[in-house]
Amino acid sequence: MIRARIPARKNSANLKSYEKTCPYFSWEDIEKEFSWYGPDHSPDHSPDHSSNRMNIMTESIDRWAEDPDRCAHDALVFSKGGQVQTYSYQQMKIKSCQWAGLLTEYGFNAGDRLIVLLPPCPEIFFAMSACARIGVIFCPVFSSSSFYELEIRLESTSPRGILTLPDLVEKISYEFAGQISHIFLTQGPAPGLFPNEVVIAGMPEQMPPEFEPEMLSGDAPLYLIYTSGSTRPPKGVIHTHQEMTGMLASARWVLDVKPNTVLWTDADPAWVTGTVYGAFAPWLCGVTAFVQGDPFTAANWYWTLEKFKISVWYTTPKIIRDLMEAGDDLPSRYDLSALRHVTSVGAPLIPELLYWVGDHLRCYPHDTWWMTETGIICIANLACNDIKPGSIGKPLPGIKAAILDENGKHLPALSLGELALKCPWPGLTVGLWQDNDRFQRYFTDDGWFLTGDIALEDEEGYFYHQGRNDDLLKAGGDKVIGPFEIEQVLCVHPAVAEAAVISKGSEPGKGISYLKAFITLKKGYIQSTRLNYEIKTFLKGNLAPDIVIREIIFLDKLPKTRSGKLLRRVLRARELGIPGGESLNMQD
Ligand code: WT7
């Protein structure tokens, strides 16, 4: 662990003091900000307010559209190929109502599913807000999904419709096309592969601009997202309208969203990060959500930060690494003065990346931790706390985290174990689509949610992520270590860009893991036997003597999910010649 600290920014942050807030915090204080809260709506004063009827659209888009001081404020700014489309809260509300009208015309009702298979575009957000308004379950799917990935999602969700583009229709299998009532296309011409294709361009605009949000129970599904697949098979995670409480609080504290914020969450809208912090969360706060439709290039990303005066940026270590590799001199050519808060998620924000951003963008990135199942950011480096490089931070007020052993017993500080969160909080998934058995396995008998992540907590309550529990490695004696620990040491070597460490099984007769490392090299370094030997020697000098890496292999690229998560299991499967080594759900 690194002793260095990056000092907190207490005065300017929304959350001024972590220590003073936590003991008195109650989720009810946040609920009070919503129109559904209160004795009028809750005659029995039930503590969880499950009897209250609500809709996230009332509290996000409509609330601001009906506010004379806020209605003209930008809700969505979308940029692609140099064209910028901007929608104020008032315009967003009209879009949402018209799209809801259209879906209703096609027979959609609360509880139906709409699969959205589109690259980033404004229509995703119109569809998302229309679904929420009716109570239709919004199911975003990456537009780059394979035929097989889409098939699993179509088969299990049995949607009433799918919203897509003519070029993507071919990904729909004949078998399932017949079971979907409508294949909506955002533009023409229709490819004519299936009889139920409908080009809807121009149709929503014919619908009335008003559509009252359906008042739903708090646990009514809002969206259904399949997990990114670093552990298989994919799970359909269900999230609900009442999570608005957690979305609002986390955006305010972790992303430090303020009334004039322009928030850029550069995740695909089909990843939960894009769904929640790219749309719902900024809308609940009444601020501007910016969406970039062009693919990543370093110049385009800096240009975006400058041109759209992004003030809060929620990104990933993968993007930060790509920016770093594009060169140290590039950021200084842009005016990044609007940028005041940077946050990161999805994979380890290693100290090298953290310092690089701090040095070159003059804003230290704040790592955040959560997962599709948790619905909202649960652990984070908050602006009001010092950053400890390498740590994912502390649990948000209202969230309790612990490290448990395999029997569910609490472990003391600095022990490696499974990260668990105390149930409930407004964000926690209410179920896995058609898989209750698997859903139940997330929970211990005494009400903890098991994340499947390995972590440790230090004496000050900071958490450190160490990998997934199926990536664990056995060292000498009873010692169990996370691969991340070794990977971090590898990355300290000047030639190493990225590293992944796996176990190839037990070493014969020794009860310890046979460890193998896969590395990519930084620009300017060439793969050679000599370098390989040098890195092995370096490891030996920097690891405990009972941790021995038997093999190091150079790769041009490590296998990762679309959201940039390292897929150690793919390396393991390839290594052992077992299924799972194929490039399913991967970037390339
Ligand atoms: C897994 C969840 C991540 C946004 C929500 C969607 C890993 C998440 C971090 C972090 C290291 C991280 C965990 C987690 N992860 N945040 N800050 N440092 N690892 O997430 O696609 O469901 O993935 O992402 O392993 O379990 P997801």
User: Of the residues 231, 320, 370, which should be mutated to test ligand 1's pocket, given the most ligand atoms within 8 Å of the CB?
Assistant: 370
Q: Please tell me if the CB atom of residue 197 comes closer than 6 angstroms to any atom of ligand 1.
A: no
Ligand 1 close to Cβ of residue 272 (< 6 A): yes
**pLDDT single digits (tens) 73-112:** 999 999 999 999 999 999 999 999 999 999 999 999 999 9
Evaluate whether 290 touches 315 at the Cβ level (below 8 Å): no
The pLDDT, as a whole number, for residue 580 is: 64
Q: What is the DSSP string of 112-151?
A: -EEEEE-SS-HHHHHHHHHHHHHTPEEEEE-TT--HHHHH
Predicted confidence at residue 137, as pLDDT, reads: 98
- Tens digit of each residue's pLDDT (9 = 90 or more) over 207-238: 999 999 999 999 999 999 998 555 567 899 99
- Look at strands 549-554 and 401-404 and give their pairing: unpaired
Residue 1: what pLDDT?
64
CA within 13 Å, CB half, 470: 11
Q: What is the CATH number that goes with domain 474-576?
A: 3.30.300.30
Ligand 1, atom 3: nearest CA belongs to which residue?
346
> Given the DSSP bridges, would you call strands 236-240 and 221-226 parallel, antiparallel or unpaired?
antiparallel
Ligand 1: atom nearest CA of 372 is: 22
Cα(224) to ligand 1 centroid in Å equals: 17
Is residue 392 lining ligand 1, measured as CB closer than 6 Å?
yes
Atom 27 (ligand 1) nearest CA: 371
122 CB under 6 A from ligand 1? no
Query: Would the CB of 345 count as within 6 Å of ligand 1?
Result: yes
Bridge-based pairing state of the strands 431-432 and 448-457:
unpaired
Rounded to the nearest angstrom, the gap between the alpha carbon of residue 46 and the centroid of all alpha carbons in its chain is 32
Tens digits of per-residue pLDDT, 496-522?
Answer: 999 999 988 877 777 788 899 999 999
Q: pLDDT band for 138, please (50, 70, 90 cuts).
A: very high
Minimal CA–CA distance to 289: which of 316, 318, 321, 311? 311
Question: Would the pLDDT of 147 be above 90?
Answer: no
C-alpha torsion sign, points 8, 9, 11, 12: negative
Domain boundaries, the chain: 18-36+48-399, 474-576
When the candidates are 1.10.1370.30, 3.40.50.360, 3.40.50.300, 3.40.50.12780, the CATH number that belongs to 18-36+48-399 is 3.40.50.12780
pTM equals: 0.91
State whether the beta carbon of 273 lies less than 6 angstroms from ligand 1.
yes
pLDDT given for residue 296 in this prediction:
96
419 CA distance to ligand 1 middle (Å): 12
- Span from the CA of 104 to the centroid of ligand 1 (angstroms): 36
The set of residues, in sequence order, having a beta carbon less than 8 Å from that of 151 and lying 6+ positions away, is 173, 176
- Each residue's pLDDT tens digit, 463-501: 999 988 878 888 776 778 888 889 989 999 999 999 999
| Distance (Å) from CA 467 to ligand 1 centroid | 10
Q: Using CA atoms, how far apart are residues 58 and 64, in angstroms rounded to an integer?
A: 9
CA distance 74 to 60: 13
Query: Candidates 369, 376, 466, 485: which one to mutate for ligand 1, based on the most atoms within 8 Å of Cβ?
Result: 369
H/E element, 324:
helix 317-325
